[in-house]
Structure 1
Amino acid sequence: MYNKIDSNENEAVIQYKDGTFKVIRPGTYVICAITGQRIPLQKLCYWNVDRQVPYADSKSSLEAERRAGTIVD
């Protein structure tokens, strides 16, 4: 049977650490906690260690901090 989903593209499970991360389950991407967009692992630069979530970019990271109440405009 033909599968339209590329089996080479799976969501990774990551343990986020200070300045690095550990791959728990191999995959090619993670999902941004704010935008919902796929982030290829080779482009993953932003995450929150305490919340254990990734962000697509600095803007998404800043928005997460605003929503959490750690930054007030």
Structure 2
Amino acid sequence: MLMSHTDRAARLHYMANGFRVLSPGDHVVCATSGARIPLDLLRYWSVARQEAYASAAIASEALRPQ
């Protein structure tokens, strides 16, 4: 039986130049906006915080020093 990972959030380990899939799925959730990000469109994340972001603007805002 084939397992479908459609409509299931993946668990990832974010690294400096990519990420490793810890638990399969088809998307991750933006840490700030809550938007679903398909894995093939994932471009922005924080290695230190292990969080994904939906856009460069959201990532910049989230990582801006307080």
Using the size of structure 1 for normalisation, the TM-score is 0.80
Question: Equivalent of 1:46, from 44, 49, 52?
Answer: 44
CA distance in 2, matches of 1:46, 1:19: 11
Give 5+ residue unaligned stretches, structure 1: 1-6
Give 5+ residue unaligned stretches, structure 2: none
Note the C-alpha offset of 1:8: 2.1
Note the C-alpha offset of 1:9: 1.1
Alignment of 1:2-41 (within 5 A): 8-41=6-39
Using the size of structure 2 for normalisation, the TM-score is 0.87
Identity of aligned residues (%): 40
**Structure whose CA Rg is larger:** 1
CA distance in 1, matches of 2:6, 2:52: 21
The alignment yields a C-alpha RMSD, in angstroms, of: 1.3
CA distance in 1, matches of 2:30, 2:6: 20
Number of residue pairs the alignment of both structures matches: 62
Determine helix, strand or coil for the equivalent of 1:62.
helix
CA distance in 2, matches of 1:52, 1:23: 13
Find runs of 4+ consecutive structure 1 residues off by over 4 angstroms: none
Q: Which residue of 2 aligns with 1:4?
A: none
